[in-house]
Amino acid sequence: MLMHESSILTLQKAMEEGKTTSRELTLSFLKRIAAFDKQGVNINAISEVNPDALHIAEAMDRERAVSGSRGPLHGIPILIKDNIATADGMHTTAGSLAMADSYASVDAFLVSRLRAAGAVLLGKTNLTEWANFISDHMPNGYSSRGGQVLNPYGPDVFDVGGSSAGSGAAIAAGFAVAAVGTETSGSILNPSVRNSLVGIKPTVGLISRSGIIPIATSQDTAGPMTRTVEDAAILLAAMTGNDEQDPATGRSIGLARSDYQSCLDKDGLNGARVGIVRSRYLAKYSQEEQALYDEAITVLQESGATVIDAVKIPTEEANWQNAVLIHEFKSGINAYLKTLPADFPLRTLKDLIAWNQAHESQALRFGQVLFEKAEQTSGSLADAAYIDARLSDLEMSQTHGIDAVMNEHQLDCLVFPMSEGASIAARAGYPSVSVPAGYTKEGKPFGIMFTGKAFQEPTLIRFAYAYEQKSMKRMAPSLLAE
């Protein structure tokens, strides 16, 4: 059994049968991180390892022996993106040198949920700095604190994706069983398709935003990044729940599930009406990649789906702006900084900008134009420009966008190449699920993305699983040192 390629349930069964332990799993992943992350191939996906990881694993083993398993995540090593707060021996930095000495006071709500499920928090993953909201031209996977993350399928060749680059590269490279990423607009889905993973970007409010370093309260969410749809469904269920500190989670009452495994149906595409999006989204890809998309569409048809080809989102050609993100960032980051221990010196976005300027050679390799634009706003979210932009985004992405095309063709979901269309779904707050869909001759991963309306995660998971089981496209990368 290859531990680094095994599923959650496979490893859970092995632990139940006494064939391995959480301690042995944790040691195995730590050895793999040591071999490939900062030496060998030098993937550079891990920002730091949890000093208590082995202690947690041993505690989970002891608990299993005394009182049994808590559930599918009991003793399973999980990695967390380094913009998600953990009140332990690990920093929470968003990849920023300015935040290098920052410790969170309280676990993010989703972290407390994972701890309660018995997961072993193995460490934090590197990311595109500030979740790619500091500069308008920062490379995917780069941070001033952590350096550049590489794609295990083609180090220094293929784009690793962003901003959850470390989470994507780490799971592709077998550094843990699963990882948590975050997304404002494409940051789970993009690194997932580029690292041949399953990524779930949930409906905003399905998973609490509490304790996540924010960009935009209207679009931010966390989500699973795994090697299989089944693993993603298990991890998603563990993180959902109503959080009194996050009003958005109130939207999910009665809609969130404690079990998404029940959605896993090999025949789940039978009878589905699926809209295939091509138009401008597909034009940027090579003929070989377009052929992989066509092959995926054929699999959907062979799985019993009714395919409505070449549907067009009415607003896909709109001149989308990032005004909402610019305005929401200042109030969000100022609020987060105030939750840090009183002795942390940086308390506002203005402080961060000044610190970066004082350490320009190390901290501002790609500038901070987005920080500066955000600082120029009032921070009150009362600006007419902000309110108009937010209302426009909702109308264009929902009413005249995804809702319009799905209603017109009576669709159960939309399918995009790679993570194209992630931004319009992000503005709508709608869910998407990415699945591996093959590789080019050079070994570059290709994926497809299922998108639906709010809280349609069960439907999307069912479709993604049926496609995955029919196609079985994912292959592990061949790390050079293996």
Is 347 in a helix, a strand, or coil?
coil
All residues at 6 or more sequence positions from 271 whose CB lies less than 8 Å from its CB, including other chains: 304, 305, 306
Place of tokens 């993010």: 108
Task: Tokens 């350490």: give the residue.
Answer: 359
Secondary structure of 63-102 in the HEC alphabet? HHHHHCCCCCCCCCEEEEECCECCCCCCCCCCCCHHHCCC
480 has pLDDT over 80: no
User: Is position 77 within any domain?
Assistant: yes
Q: Confidence class of residue 1 from pLDDT cuts 50, 70 and 90?
A: low
Mean pLDDT of 238-265: 96
Q: How far apart are CA 103 and CA 303, in angstroms?
A: 49
Report how far apart, in Å, the C-alpha atoms of 33 and of each of 79, 151, 267, 278, 380 are: 12, 15, 37, 39, 43
Prior bond to 331 cis, omega within 30? no
Segment 96-117 mean pLDDT: 98
Contact 191, 92 (CB under 8 A): no
Taking the alpha carbons at both ends of the chain, their separation in whole angstroms is 16
Tens digit of each residue's pLDDT (9 = 90 or more) over 386-404: 999 999 999 999 999 999 9
Mean of pLDDT values over 228-246:
97
Question: Which residues does 15 contact at the CB level (< 8 Å), separation at least 6?
Answer: 21, 22, 25, 61, 64, 69, 74, 75
Task: Report the relative pairing of strands 120-125 and 147-148 from DSSP bridges.
Answer: unpaired
State yes or no: is 163 an active-site residue.
yes
- Catalytic pick among 81, 124, 453, 473: 81
> Domain of 35?
3-261
pLDDT one-digit tens code per residue, 342-356: 999 999 999 999 999
Write out the E strands in 384-431.
413-417
Sorted by sequence, the CB contacts under 8 Å of residue 6 that are 6+ apart come out as: 14, 177
- Domain tally, the chain: 1
Q: Is residue 80 part of a domain?
A: yes
CATH number at residue 68: 3.90.1300.10
Is residue 473 within a helix (H) or strand (E), and if so which, with residue range? none
Q: Is residue 49 part of a domain?
A: yes
Active site residue 67: no
- Active-site residue (options: 96, 143, 144, 187): 187
Any catalytic annotation for residue 187? Answer: yes
Query: What was the pLDDT predicted at 481?
Result: 46
Tokens encoding 242: 């109503």
How far apart, in whole angstroms, are the C-alpha atoms of residue 302 and residue 296? 10
Q: Which two tokens stand for residue 8?
A: 């959650």
Q: What integer pLDDT is reported at residue 482 of this predicted model?
A: 47
| CA–CA gap between residue 304 and residue 143 (Å, rounded) | 44
Helices vs. strands in the chain: H and E counts, helices first: 18, 13
Cβ pair 167, 81 in contact under 8 A: yes
412 part of a folded domain: no
Is 291 within a domain? no
In a domain, 42, yes or no: yes
Coil, helix or strand at residue 215: coil
Q: What number of CA atoms fall less than 13 Å from residue 355's CA on the CB side?
A: 15
* Residue 294, token pair as written in the block: 């066509």
3 pLDDT higher than 90: no
Average pLDDT over residues 213-235: 98
Q: Which of 47, 143, 144, 163 is catalytic?
A: 163
In this structure, are residues 209 and 191 in contact, taking their beta carbons and an 8 Å threshold?
Answer: no
Domain contains 334:
no
65 within domain boundaries: yes
| pLDDT score for 341 | 95
> What does the pLDDT look like over 126-167, one tens digit per residue?
999 999 999 999 999 999 999 999 999 999 999 999 999 999
